[in-house]
């Protein structure tokens, strides 16, 4: 009976998968397919893209302030007049004309260009940041679904071992070769394994729901994924260059550009406005009048009070403070990003090393389990000692799989830190 246990245990752990299991009725997606779906459907990414498009259109619209304003008009009036004889008569009056005006110099128009351009840059930086964040959360969901599928396979193998153990020890107890406590222990371990398998199914459902969420699926779909828990150690990095490329720093830089545009806007009141107008019109008593008239003029204005120099002083002072704050925020973003990159680089390399260590520990546990089972079958090892080798085999297998999860998540975090988006 004990020899049967050895054969079953060795067979089971020879079947540990490296890819998520799939069901024939499910949609099976690769990582590249998940990224493509998220690019098309993720609501956070779509909102950021719409925001960028709106900002780009606002920037283009701000050029209208530099263009001449031209309008055409055509009017008709009918009125009664009192003549010298004291009689009333109706008179028709038609007027048609064209009016043109141009701001030869308007500081506000140029400030609006700078502001809308800065807002477009800010929206573009925000889109890159959102894309990077969506890729990270999508990778988390993808990796955790793979892990939970693999964990279910492993835990089913553990359940099979514990079931064989419980059956064997129960027979040994009935024959008087094992104690009641040993039988109760093996039965409790079997129950624990069965509960773990049941919980694994719930975890898989939750992981699928989160993947649906990151893909932008409004309705839950039974999704399976195919892939492995990928990770790799990284060589030494050029961190200063990486810092300048990250979305967090790009967002802070865009905020600084916007603050500079705000500084420009605050100085508008210090500059005069210079504009010119011209019009040509015809009037008469017919629908197409033929009596021509024209006028033209130029205006130079400079506000003194209200929105003049007194208001400009406070506006400029406030804008300077905002600009100084934006400069400090950029410095903080650069420093914190540098620190984050160092931490994430260290974590990835540490976790990758731990995978190798846990792989060796699991291999050693397998060897000890095999040797202990041989001695137990020969009656040279008590149950209490042998069952420890079974527990070590299970714990080190789960630890090995868990270390692969941590390494894969660490790589996803590193990709997020350096700003990789869904298109990268």
- The answer to whether 231 and 411 have CB atoms below 8 angstroms apart is yes
Distance CA 14, CA 317 (A): 73
Tell me the pLDDT tens digit for each residue of 187-244: 898 898 899 899 999 999 999 999 999 999 888 888 888 888 888 888 888 888 899 8
Distance CA 392, CA 364 (A): 10
As a whole-number percent, the residues of the chain with pLDDT over 90 amount to 38
The full set of domains in the chain, from first to last, is 2-67+105-273+304-417 (1.20.1600.10)
Q: Which residues pair with 389 in a beta bridge?
A: none
Mean pLDDT of the chain: 84
pLDDT of the residue at 20: 42
pLDDT of the residue at 93: 79
As a whole-number percent, the residues of the chain with pLDDT over 70 amount to 89
**379 three-state secondary structure:** coil
Query: Cα dist. 105→268, 270, 271, 295 in Å?
Result: 11, 13, 9, 21
- Structure token digits, residue 289: 């009048």
Query: Cα dist. 208→16, 45, 81, 157, 223 in Å?
Result: 22, 20, 84, 23, 6
Tell me the pLDDT tens digit for each residue of 44-101: 999 999 999 999 998 888 888 778 888 888 887 877 666 666 666 677 778 888 888 8
Residues of the chain with confidence (pLDDT) below 70: 1-25, 80-89, 305-308
pTM of the prediction? 0.78
């Amino acid at each position: 009976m004990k020899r049967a246990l050895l054969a079953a245990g060795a067979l089971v752990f020879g079947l540990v998968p490296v890819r998520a299991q799939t069901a024939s009725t499910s949609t099976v997606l690769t990582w590249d397919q998940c990224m493509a779906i998220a690019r098309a459907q993720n609501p956070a990414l779509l909102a950021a893209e719409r925001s960028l498009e709106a900002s780009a259109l606002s920037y283009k619209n701000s050029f209208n302030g530099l263009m001449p304003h031209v309008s055409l008009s055509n009017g008709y009036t009918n009125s009664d007049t009192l003549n010298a004889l004291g009689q009333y008569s109706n008179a028709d009056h038609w007027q048609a004309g064209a009016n043109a005006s141009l701001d030869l110099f308007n500081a506000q128009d140029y400030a609006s260009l700078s502001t809308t351009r800065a807002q477009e840059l800010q929206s573009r930086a925000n889109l890159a940041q959102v894309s990077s964040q969506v890729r990270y959360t999508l990778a988390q969901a993808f990796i955790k679904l793979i892990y939970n599928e693999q964990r279910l396979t492993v835990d089913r193998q553990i359940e099979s071992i514990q079931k064989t153990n419980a059956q064997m020890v129960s027979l040994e107890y009935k024959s008087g070769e094992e104690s009641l406590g040993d039988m109760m222990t093996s039965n409790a371990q079997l129950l624990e394994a069965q509960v773990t398998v049941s919980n694994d199914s719930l975890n898989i459902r939750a992981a699928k729901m989160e993947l649906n969420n990151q893909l932008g699926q409004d309705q839950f779909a039974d999704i399976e994924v195919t892939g492995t828990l990928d990770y790799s150690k990284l060589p030494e990095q050029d961190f200063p260059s990486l810092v300048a490329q990250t979305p967090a720093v790009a967002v802070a830089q865009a905020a600084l550009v916007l603050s500079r545009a705000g500084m420009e806007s605050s100085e508008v009141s210090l500059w005069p406005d210079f504009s010119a107008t011209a019009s040509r019109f015809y009037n008469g008593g017919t629908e197409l009048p033929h009596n021509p008239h024209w006028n033209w003029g130029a205006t130079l204005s400079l506000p003194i009070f209200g929105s003049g120099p007194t208001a400009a002083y406070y506006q400029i002072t406030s804008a300077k403070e905002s600009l100084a704050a934006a400069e400090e925020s950029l410095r903080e973003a650069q420093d914190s990003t540098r620190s984050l990159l160092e931490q994430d680089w260290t974590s990835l390399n540490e976790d990758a090393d731990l995978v190798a260590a846990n792989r060796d520990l699991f291999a050693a546990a397998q060897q000890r389990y095999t040797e202990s089972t041989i001695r137990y079958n020969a009656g040279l090892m008590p149950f209490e000692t042998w069952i420890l080798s079974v527990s070590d085999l299970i714990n080190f297998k789960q630890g090995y799989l868990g270390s692969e999860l941590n390494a894969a998540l660490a790589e996803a975090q590193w990709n997020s830190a350096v700003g990789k988006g869904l298109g990268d």
